[in-house]
Chains A and B, each alone.
Chain A
Amino acid sequence: MKAKENSWNFFVRLCGGIVIALPIVIGIFLIIRGNMTFTKYHHSIIEFLFSSNWAPADDMTGGGHVGSAVYIVGSLITCGLALLISVPFSMAAAIFMTEIAPKGGNKVLRPAVELFVGIPSVVYGWMGMTILVPFIKKIFNINQGYGVLSASLVLAIMIFPSITTVAADAIRSVPDSARKGAYGMGATRWQVIYQVVVPAAKTGIMSGVVLGLARAFGEALAVAMVIGKTRSFPKGILSPTTNLTSAIASDMGGVMEGGEYNAALWSMALLLFLISLLFIFIIHRMAGSAERKEKKLEKMAEQAAKAEAAANGGN
């Protein structure tokens, strides 16, 4: 009996421990391998981040160039543009299912948005290649439709459901008393949404946006299929470029294990890992500051109540 209890407890703790250990182990491996570019092959971090001279040697002696600026800029531009396209639509959808038509929204739109989340990214990429790219080529009358715009549109459709669900949850958690108060003062529904509900749910909405951005940054194959994979800075939103994830996805298999090229790709993976950690940190900071604000308001309300009680007692 006792032994059974003990082994059970051990097993539960072991599994908890595995979950804690996994990201640490992944982080350590990424740091070890990603650092080889800077330690073994003596490149500077400045060169890696800001130079666009990318010609790593595919052997153990090194001596090439590892400037990844083109890849980094490609990632930044496509994700930024995807966010610009996606956020207004996500906000509209989130507001629709919480404020405008909660019944129909919850029954129809919400499950539909959740189904969107499940669509595999390669399918998005394949659809982007076969529908979106020819379409863009046709309407802009250019040589080929691969490029920043295609990649951003595919990413925007991919992150739309993530932002929408988180934003809808945030809006749903705004207390009804806030709405009722505003309606009582004669505000229209749009005024309530625009001036009361959305500002109150701001932090939650921002977490959704950051989450969507994190997802866009880490997406590999869908983007690689439509971005055009051309190693040069994009001249406009229609020109092809490349990004961090497509470089890793397409080059890793063909390079020598432990060589300079390999090490440079690992540095990119390390950069992606650090960026995703940064996003988590930002979400936490926002949630933390919102909590502090709430506590402060609560305290003020308490004090006000106390003062009122004291005043009443005086009378």
Chain B
Amino acid sequence: MASESAAVLGSNNEEQKMREMKARAGRAIGVDNFMTGVFYVVAGFFLALLIALASYIIIKGFAGAKPYMFAFDSQGIGNQFWNTIYLVFLSLLISVPIGVMAGIYMALYAKKGRVATILRIAIETLSSLPSIVVGLFGYLVFIVMTGNSWNLFAGALAVSILSLPLIATTTEDAINMLPDSYTKGAFGMGATKRQVITTVLLPAATPHIITGVILAAGRGFGEAAALLYTAGMSTDLNWHMVSAATNPFNPFRPGETLALNIWALRTEALRADAAEMANLSSAILMILVLGFSLLAHTIERHMKKKSGV
């Protein structure tokens, strides 16, 4: 009898334990389901926010636009659009050769040791510099010290300081990602280091480097703080006379970009249509930036498919 009741008690205890454990497991599963729901909501919220923001900016910009706003004169933002493209083009002309070469140096010349450490710190410092600080530096060195007034070229130099670390690190990554056999094979055929780099490694790394350059260009389009005191906040282009100082291709003239135009319209809104102009500028900037990053993504995906990674 006694042993029987003990057994019943034991099974009761066991049952209770089981029940408790089941309840705990149930709670854990409940929390798990709840948190999964939270994650889906947050992810969905951000997707919705991005889509809403992008479409709102683009639709609002074009809905309020009048034909004269697209003109390439003082009434429209055509000149600013041109300046934006031209400034980024000039800045890439400077930052791509230097950045790619520096990337090669990092990947193949200074792999380890003190120089490599210093380079890494330098790149990190450059990439974390506030753009307004770069703008001030550019203002002092390219404007005050050279005795020039605001000009597009000074702006391009400031933007290239900002895009240099991105281009250098993507080049370094692109070269490091290549299989060792490329280098060994080329060296085995008696090629010099320069020949290995220029004829084997660089061509193989080019698609990856191009994605980095496109991303840098996308950032350049939207840069404003670094240009405040370098490229200047005015533009006056003469599209009919190539010999004029204000001809669009002269880099040594003030060149307000789209991003600066938004800033200027907000602070010194002298015209009645300032809000519509800023909306349109934002819309065009968004299309430029999103277009360039989509392009970079497409190239990257294409490359991944090709290499089968």
Q: State the A residues within 8 Å of B (CB).
A: 1, 4-5, 8-9, 11-16, 18-20, 22-24, 26, 29-30, 33, 89, 92-93, 95-97, 100-101, 105, 108-109, 111-116, 118-123, 125-127, 129-130, 160, 186-191, 193, 211, 214, 217-221, 225, 245, 248-250, 252-253, 257, 266, 269, 272-273, 276-277, 279-280
Contacts and interface: CB of A to CB of B under 8 A. Distances in A.
Contacts of B85: none
Contact of B262 (A11, A108, A122, A257): A122
A249 B119 contact: no
18 contacts: A15-B98, A16-B102, A16-B105, A16-B109, A16-B119, A19-B102, A19-B122, A19-B164, A22-B161, A30-B137, A108-B47, A115-B294, A118-B289, A119-B289, A120-B222, A125-B266, A127-B57, A187-B28
A113 B46 contact: yes
Given A112-B46, A245-B130, 7 more contacts: A20-B119, A26-B133, A30-B137, A119-B289, A225-B263, A272-B130, A280-B125
Contacts of B104: 12, 15
Contact of A273 (B38, B101, B133): B133
B224 A19 contact: no
Interface string B38-79: 111011001100100110010000000000000000000000
Nearest to A8: B194
Contacts of B222: 118-123
Interface residues of B, number: 85
Given A19-B168, A269-B133, A188 B140 contact: no
Interface of B: 25, 28-29, 31-32, 35-36, 38-40, 42-43, 46-47, 50, 53-54, 57, 97-99, 101-102, 104-106, 109-110, 115, 118-119, 121-126, 128-134, 136-137, 139-141, 144, 161, 164-165, 168, 192-194, 215, 218-219, 221-225, 228-229, 259-260, 262-263, 266-267, 275, 278-279, 282, 285-286, 289-290, 292-294, 297
A150 to B, nearest CB: 14
A188 B28 contact: yes
Chain A contact residues: over half helix, strand or loop, or mixed?
helix
A33 B54 CA distance: 41
Contact of B43 (A33, A109, A190): A109
A108 B32 CA distance: 23
A214 B42 contact: no
Given A96-B40, A118-B222, A89 B46 contact: yes
Contact of A126 (B40, B43, B131, B262): B262
Contacts of B110: 16
B130 A129 contact: no
A312 B189 CA distance: 51
Contact of A12 (B40, B43, B105): B105
B46 A93 contact: yes
B129 A23 contact: yes
Contact of B132 (A16, A187, A190, A218): A218
A123 to B, nearest CB: 5
Q: Which 7 pairs of residues, A with B, have the shortest CB-CB distance?
A: A120-B222, A218-B130, A15-B101, A16-B105, A188-B32, A92-B42, A23-B125
Contacts of A193: 35
B224 A121 contact: yes
A118 B263 contact: no
Most buried by A among B53, B132, B134, B192: B132
Contacts of B282: 122-123, 126-127
A24 B122 CA distance: 8
Contacts of A122: 222, 224, 259-260, 262-263, 282, 285
Given A114-B293, A272-B130, A221 B32 contact: no
B140 to A, nearest CB: 6
A121 B260 CA distance: 11
A297 B119 CA distance: 30
B120 to A, nearest CB: 10
A214 B128 contact: yes
A22 B137 CA distance: 11
A89 B42 contact: yes
Contacts of B32: 188-191
Nearest to B215: A118
B191 to A, nearest CB: 11
Contacts of B193: 5, 9
Given A23-B129, A190-B35, A272-B133, A118 B98 contact: no
B43 to A, nearest CB: 4
Given A18-B98, A253-B228, A9 B194 contact: yes
Nearest to A265: B136
- The residue among A11, A113, A123, A186 with the most chain B CB atoms within 10 A of its own CB is A123
Contacts of B102: 15-16, 18-19
B285 A123 contact: yes
